[in-house]
Structure 1
Amino acid sequence: MIHQYKNNGYNIVLDVNSGMIHIVDELVYDIISLYESHDVDTIIEKMMDKYSIPENAGLLEDPISKELILEGIDEIRQLKEDGSLFTEDIYQNYISEFKNRETVVKALCLHIAHDCNLACKYCFAEEGEYHGRRAIMSYEVGKKALDFLIVNSGKRRNLEVDFFGGEPLMNFQVVRDLVKYGREQEKIHDKHFRFTLTTNGLLLNDDIIAFANEEMDNVVLSIDGRKEIHDHMRPSRNGKGSYDIILPKFIKLAESRNQSRYYVRGTFTRNNLDFSEDVIHLAELGFKQISMEPVVSLPEEPYAITEEDIPVICEEYDKLAEYMIQSKKEGRSFNFFHFMLDLSGGPCVAKRLSGCGTGTEYLAVTPWGDIYPCHQFVGEEEYLLGNVDDGIKRDDLVEGFKHCNVYSKDNCKDCFARYYCSGGCAANSYKFHNNINDTYDIGCELQRKRVECSIMLKAAELDGEE
């Protein structure tokens, strides 16, 4: 299976199953599209017809000839023989073994506070309340959650814990105490905790920044970009905007971490389909680690992204990619989370097939100790897995998530991006289709575009090094 596309002057061919990427000229690009379905004589005839037309002849460096076409065909044949083009599915035979693999819990999302000091209009957590259950996690529940993670992590040493909300800084003392407890347990059990904090920034101060710099492997800072966009969707409980309060704090934290081990994370909606301007705004403020994600909302919401918005959004991704190329040339480079692909190695097979590990390796814990497959399933009682006192009680649900992969979803089987998104988000599938083995169609279209832009950026990077 191959995927061909043109972007920013590059002719790009992705061999899906091997992950190999080829940047080719116009002639080879066209021959590849015919190679598997036409014989040599037909390919020669079609290419001679196309490139004999004056306006097309200028696309080639050399005049079209049978010899030039045969040279292109030979090049493609060699790539196929070398296993980098038209390769067979390398994972299909692995799927039975994959479904029966042993899993351990690697990461927990601790809902430190089901409460929030903002009233974000698109919040899936309903302003931190998660279906009406406002609560604060106690130190005792948090300790039990960390103990659960240690016991269920098997031989894995590195463990991930995200302090999440609502707004976790509304319960900061428990965050501090749990980190201390975790550090004590590391020595006893030969584990290492990688802590993450996700915050809206209202309560950030010098003491919290210092603590985060000492203990947090990553800090996620929520900001939607331009002031008018941010304040419209992320007001405080009294209706006033929060941009002016949080921005100087975020700049200070980012600088204090040497512009690494953090990212500013925004959400764009139908209100700002020109979201590239929000990313550019954040970049020009000096932030080097940026994420801007599309809102996932049911269509009845006024800010929801619809299918008719997809072409506009795709144009914005192209615009952003071109801006990033220019910024890098000018010495102002930054990372955009959705354009970051490791094309040389990338994730392991399990990650390529199943993604984030929701329901198996990654779990969420509520303030009262209930365990759910991830933070977006919290409050969906049919997906309550167990609790920190008794452990996992719904092994059937865990098995369901273990079998959820790119081969269990019909929409993934012929998608060129399947090994990059790993089948998409199970929570989004449940939200739109009431099961975890489907896909969120708008999200799929945008993911495909992001993959295309990511590969083009790599091509531009290599082009600039030559």
Structure 2
Amino acid sequence: MNLTLHLTEGCNMACSYCTRVQSAVRMSEDVLDAACDLAFSAGTHGGLCFFGGEPLLEQGLIERAVERCRMLSQKTGKPARFKMTTNGTLLTPGFLTLAKNVQMGIGLSFEGTAQDQCRRFQDGSGSFHIVAEHAKMLLQYLPGSYAMMTVAPDAVPQYAEAVQYLYQLGFRTILATIAYGENVHWTDDDLDLLGIQLRQIAAFYQEQLRNGTPFFFSPFDGKIRDLLRGFQTGERCHLGFRQMPVAPDGKIYACTQFIGDADFCLGDVFSGINTEKQKELAMRDATPDTCKACALRSRCTNSCGCLNRLETGNERTVSPLQCAYERMLIGIADETADALFQADPARFQKRFSS
């Protein structure tokens, strides 16, 4: 079973697009231990993703979870799997040694050369230089780590430059999305510039793939694979199944955006999961009514209830921004796919059909 543990609601940064309310609330050791036990109670493995706030503010809890999961792995014969999303400012050689020993997958929230546009410390100072140095250290210990970009309007002019910077730094997997929510305000000019930047990224992306060098850029890879393989039911939004978040108080929710909403609470780490409630959520048609006639619906994020709620307040309603971005991205991804296929059909099929 996979659980995302919200270890703390605190963070040492104040990113301009962040919609989370920071506080001193943290997960107790009792809740942590019960979450570890629950992760191994079903399924083929015990999977934990450490999340926040900034999870490294609670490094002691992470260390405790790793040790407990090692014990549970020996007891059950199931492998323990660990992931973490971090802003990178608190990474140390000591922690990375632990992470390497347990093969932890680490996603670094880092926007490269665009970092200081939105990702600043609480006192307003920039974080680029610290995170850049820590990113190098991270890649030395765990070369397979990935960068996670959230691109707000202020960062759009540097988007392509930032992607190239992250790639040259050593990241071969970059997960990117635009910033959504009440703290960002996109204009038509911003979206026009975003399209220009995405085409510049597409040119760089094509260059790497034609050279045979590894590069996974989620906005393009996801759309191209959807184009080739068609609708994949398993990859659509399934509330309350794929990766269930655990709040600091131990309550389990269907998705991160629904934490605190009793309608989407599936139980807690002590009493377990309400499977009937879980099935009820899973049976809901994930595609909003406004999208059902759209030819692009199976290649779009319209089924993401978490994103829909963040943008519109309703998990069944897609925002105009999301629709415009998805249409733009799919068009550019298709142009990119066509160019790559024309250049080398065999390599294209090998790269995207597996």
Q: Shorter-normalised TM-score: what interval?
A: 0.7 to 0.9
Equivalent runs, 1:112-261 vs 2, <5 Å: 112-126=7-21, 129=22, 133-151=23-41, 153=42, 156-226=43-113, 229-258=114-143, 260=144
- C-alpha distance in structure 1 between counterparts of 2:302 and 2:78, whole Å: 30
Q: CA deviation at 1:405?
A: 1.8
Q: CA deviation at 1:393?
A: 5.2
**Alignment check: 8 A CA contact 1:201 1:221 kept:** yes
Q: Classify the secondary structure of the residue corresponding to 1:135.
A: coil
**Alignment check: 8 A CA contact 2:146 2:174 kept:** yes
- C-alpha distance in structure 2 between counterparts of 1:136 and 1:337, whole Å: 32
Q: CA deviation at 1:205?
A: 0.8
**Alignment check: 8 A CA contact 1:124 1:376 kept:** no
**Alignment check: 8 A CA contact 2:199 2:332 kept:** yes
Match 1:415 to one of 294, 297, 305: 294
Q: In structure 2, what residue type is equivalent to 1:119? A: A
Residue 435 (structure 1) aligns with: 314
Equivalent runs, 1:362-377 vs 2, <5 Å: 362-377=243-258
Please state if 1:295 is matched with 2:179: yes
Q: Give the RMSD, CA atoms, in angstroms.
A: 2.7
Q: CA deviation at 1:200?
A: 0.9
Residue 156 (structure 2) aligns with: 273
Q: Which has the higher contact order (CA 8 A, sep 6+)?
A: 2
Match 1:452 to one of 313, 317, 331: 331
Equivalent runs, 1:32-51 vs 2, <5 Å: none
Q: 1:146 to 1:361 in 2, by over 3 A?
A: same
- C-alpha distance in structure 1 between counterparts of 2:52 and 2:278, whole Å: 24
Q: 1:439 to 1:264 in 2, by over 3 A?
A: same
Q: CA deviation at 1:231?
A: 2.1
Q: Classify the secondary structure of the residue corresponding to 1:266.
A: strand
Q: 1:439 to 1:351 in 2, by over 3 A?
A: farther
Q: 1:313 to 1:422 in 2, by over 3 A?
A: closer
- C-alpha distance in structure 2 between counterparts of 1:193 and 1:346, whole Å: 31
Q: CA deviation at 1:461?
A: 3.2
Q: CA deviation at 1:172?
A: 0.9
**Alignment check: 8 A CA contact 1:364 1:374 kept:** yes
- C-alpha distance in structure 1 between counterparts of 2:263 and 2:112, whole Å: 36
Give the count of matched residue pairs: 342
Q: Classify the secondary structure of the residue corresponding to 1:415.
A: coil
- C-alpha distance in structure 2 between counterparts of 1:364 and 1:296, whole Å: 20
**Alignment check: 8 A CA contact 1:385 1:393 kept:** yes
Q: 1:196 to 1:347 in 2, by over 3 A?
A: farther
Q: Classify the secondary structure of the residue corresponding to 1:114.
A: coil
Larger Rg: 1
- C-alpha distance in structure 1 between counterparts of 2:331 and 2:185, whole Å: 24
Q: Point out where structure 1 has 5 or more consecutive residues left out of the alignment.
A: 1-105
Q: CA deviation at 1:287?
A: 2.5
Deviations 1:358-417 (A, max 9, x none): 3234311112212122222223454333321223459447513431323xx223323333
Q: CA deviation at 1:445?
A: 2.7
Q: 1:164 to 1:461 in 2, by over 3 A?
A: same
Q: In structure 2, what residue type is equivalent to 1:320? A: I
- C-alpha distance in structure 2 between counterparts of 1:323 and 1:317, whole Å: 10
Q: CA deviation at 1:422?
A: 5.7
Q: Classify the secondary structure of the residue corresponding to 1:454.
A: helix
**Alignment check: 8 A CA contact 1:224 1:292 kept:** no
Q: 1:418 to 1:187 in 2, by over 3 A?
A: farther
Q: 1:350 to 1:141 in 2, by over 3 A?
A: same
- C-alpha distance in structure 1 between counterparts of 2:265 and 2:253, whole Å: 5
Q: CA deviation at 1:315?
A: 2.7
- C-alpha distance in structure 1 between counterparts of 2:212 and 2:137, whole Å: 22
Q: Point out where structure 2 has 5 or more consecutive residues left out of the alignment.
A: 346-354
**Alignment check: 8 A CA contact 1:364 1:371 kept:** yes
Q: CA deviation at 1:212?
A: 1.4
Equivalent runs, 1:299-338 vs 2, <5 Å: 301=183, 303-306=184-187, 309-329=190-210, 334-338=215-219
The percent of aligned pairs where both chains have the same amino acid is 25
Q: Classify the secondary structure of the residue corresponding to 2:121.
A: coil
- C-alpha distance in structure 2 between counterparts of 1:186 and 1:346, whole Å: 35
Q: In structure 2, what residue type is equivalent to 1:109? A: T
Larger CA deviation: 278-287 vs 115-124: 278-287
**Alignment check: 8 A CA contact 2:174 2:218 kept:** yes
Q: Classify the secondary structure of the residue corresponding to 1:423.
A: helix
**Alignment check: 8 A CA contact 1:224 1:265 kept:** yes
Q: 1:307 to 1:399 in 2, by over 3 A?
A: farther
- C-alpha distance in structure 2 between counterparts of 1:221 and 1:173, whole Å: 20
Q: Classify the secondary structure of the residue corresponding to 2:40.
A: helix
Q: CA deviation at 1:319?
A: 2.0
- C-alpha distance in structure 1 between counterparts of 2:330 and 2:162, whole Å: 20
